[in-house]
Every structure is written in structure tokens, then in C-alpha cells.
Amino acid sequence: MSVAARIEDAVASQSEASRRKWARDEALALYGAPFNDLLFQAQTVHRAHFDPNAVQLSRLLSIKTGGCPEDCGYCSQSARNEAELSASKLMEVERVLVEARKARDAGATRYCMGAAWRSPKERDMGFVVAMVEGVKALGMETCMTLGMLSPDQAGRLKAAGLDYYNHNIDTSEAHYASVITTRTFADRLETLDNVREAGIKVCSGGILGLGETAQDRVDMLVTLANLPEPPDSVPINMLIAIPGTPLEHAPKVDPIDFVRTIALARIMMPTSHVRLSAGRTEMSDEMQAMCFFAGANSIFVGETLLTAGNPEEDKDAVLFQRLGIHPMELKVEVETIEVEAPCASMAAAAAE
């Protein structure tokens, strides 16, 4: 079949694409297709599902930094790594809401809150539930990343109004144990199941630059695309090599391969938001432009991404202007409900 016919075929079947099962060899062939063919197909699929010039803006706040018991080889927040990062306690609910309001006023439509935990403890649940309720009342979409979740915890977060839960699978199943040993790939998938079963939208993606092969990248996307439902949001990160972590000296990712991965994610998960996530500080404007053309339609804004740098908002605004890109609007009603302040005992526990 000619390239043009294959593209026509792909576009014609795009409505089924989010439900179809992908084969590894089929996905690998797409990943290795001539670059222009791959990008044309990705852009064609993208246009069929999204405004091609709109990018969703999310703001990320670290509500509890460092001291994590997990051993993710890329992460400065692992207590087992030697990165210079001091651990903090869980942030107060009021402070989170002040920051969320600022983010909303600056144009962010989704507020993501991340805590460096293996999983939330019972004593933390009341606080994170209050954070979700408070951010939701500001009229923003809410997202949390707190580590592994039980079905009960997922249900409580859903009841509080949580829209998205981020839990990245990071890499392929085959490469996973080379990067993390304190939990398994299956643990990750179990939490994704619990989140989806609770009715929360899944945000799950991975990181490039962990010493993985092209097959690992493709396999990671095949796992995501073949979930019972593909994630609503797929962050694709480029490793920020942090001194003191085992991956400090990992070889850099070829920018062309990074763009290929974005394009493949767009084709395999046509209705998902593909997020150009960590690593943008090391990307040129031209590389970011290629990623948007390949189908990335979400970014994090703000100067920090949990603990690493992110391009300043002015720089993003200038790039958007140069590319004719505008922020994606969120059509939600701003609720005017009052959020109850956490009770004194909760505040005391947070300060522990």
C-alpha cells in the first residue's frame, strides 16, 4: 500500500483508533517510517480530533517534596538517591489554594498537585481531599499524583471531584526493572485500573532518556494505547539528568527520536491530550514547534516542574505568538461554593 493510501486508511479508521489494539511490530514500523510521512500522518490525525493551534496549559505544584522511599533512578526526590534536595512536609491546604488561584488567573485550566509518596497514608487523605475540593471550586480541572492508590482511595478522590490522576508507567515493561526496583510494572498498571474503575480520568505516560531502546519506547506506547481505555492525557517527558541520581550521565535523547515518539503517541491515541512535559528547558523553540506539529497539545507552565526547571511563562507566550498557538479553553462553570477550612486536628497533623 502506498504511503498516501496508508494515511487515508489511518484517517478513515481514526474513530476506531482509540479502541483498537496495537501490535508491537505495526507500531515499530510507524515509529521508523520516513519522518515526513510519520509527521504528516500524526498531524492529519491530530486535526481530525483537536484544534491544531490550541494547546492546553497545566500548572504543577509540589505539595510534598522529597524524602520518597521509592528508588526511581531519574528522580531527585528519592531518599535513596544523592541529589541535593531537602524534604518538605505536606503543604497546607490554604497555601495550595492561594497558588491555584494565581495559576487560574494566569490562564492555567488544570491544576496538578504532586506528592513524593509511595502511596498516600490515611492521615494525608483528608488534606488531599480538601485540596481537590478547593481547586475544583475555583473552576479548574484537578489532577493529582500521589503514588499508588487503593480502590478506596481512588473512590474518595473521585467523590471530592478529582478529574485526573497521573501515574506514569515510565518505560517499557522489559526496561522497567533497570530504572526502578521498589515497585513493579504490574503495580503501576494496578493503580491505573483502580483510578479508571473509580471514574477518574487517567494521565499516564513516560520518560525518554532512561537508557531505553526504540523498541522500549514503542512498547511503552503500545501498553498505554492498549489499556482498556487509552489514557486521557499522555505526558511524554525528556529526562532531566540530575546530579546525584543513577541516571545523571545517561546519554541524551536524539531530538528527532523524541519528535517521532510524540507523533506515534498522537497516532496511537488520537483523542488523548499528548503533553510535552519535563525537559522543555533543554529543547529549542524549533524542537518544541516540531512536537506541536507532531501532535503535542498540552504543556506545563510555570517556572518549576515539581523540582526541576521549566521555561518561563514569558518565553512560552513569545513562542506561542510566533507559532500562532493559543491556549485551549476550558468550558466549565466556576462554582461559588465555600470550601471548609480543614479542622484544627488536620492542620496539626499536616504540620507533623
Which residues sit in the known binding site? 68, 72, 75, 112, 143, 203, 275
Q: Which stretch binds ligand SF4 (CB under 6 A): 3-11, 68-76, 290-298, 337-345?
A: 68-76
Considering the complex, state which of residue 293 and residue 300 has its C-beta at the smaller distance from ligand SF4.
300
Minimum CB separation of residue 70 from ligand SF4 in Å reads: 4
**Is residue 78 part of the contact set for ligand SF4 (CB under 6 A)?**
yes
Print burial letters for 315-334: b (CB count within 10 Å at least 16), e (below 16). Answer: ebeebbeeeebebbeeeeee
Binding residues for [4Fe-4S] cluster: 68, 72, 75
Nearer to ligand SF4, 87 or 98 (CB): 87
User: Least distance in Å: CB of 216 to ligand SF4?
Assistant: 18
CB atoms within 10 A of CB 25: 10
Which CB, 163 or 170, lies closer to ligand SF4?
Answer: 170
Distance in Å, CB of 163 to ligand SF4, minimum: 20
Nearest distance from C-beta of residue 22 to ligand SF4, angstroms: 26
Burial of 227 (0-12, 13-18, 19+ CB in 10 A): middle
Footprint of ligand SF4 on 39-58 (CB under 6 A)? none
Strand partners, 78: 68
Q: Does 75 bind ligand SF4 (CB under 6 A)?
A: yes
Tell me the catalytic residues: 68, 72, 75, 112, 143, 203, 275
* Count of residues touching ligand SF4 (by CB under 6 A): 8
If binding is defined by CB under 6 A, does position 99 make contact with ligand SF4? no
Distance CA(229)–CA(196), nearest Å, equals 8
Cell of 211: 537508557
Q: What is the DSSP letter of 170?
A: B
How many Å apart are CA 101 and CA 111, to the nearest integer? 10
CB of 193 to ligand SF4, least distance (A): 18
Query: Mind giving me the DSSP string for 183-223?
Result: S-HHHHHHHHHHHHHTTPEEE--EEE-SS--HHHHHHHHHH
Three-class SS state of 64: strand
81 versus 109: smaller Cβ distance to ligand SF4: 81
What three-state secondary structure class fits 144?
A: strand
**Closest to ligand SF4 by CB, 116 or 263:** 116
* Residue 142 DSSP SS3: strand
Residues engaged in binding ligand SF4 (CB under 6 A)? 68, 70, 72, 75, 77-78, 116, 147
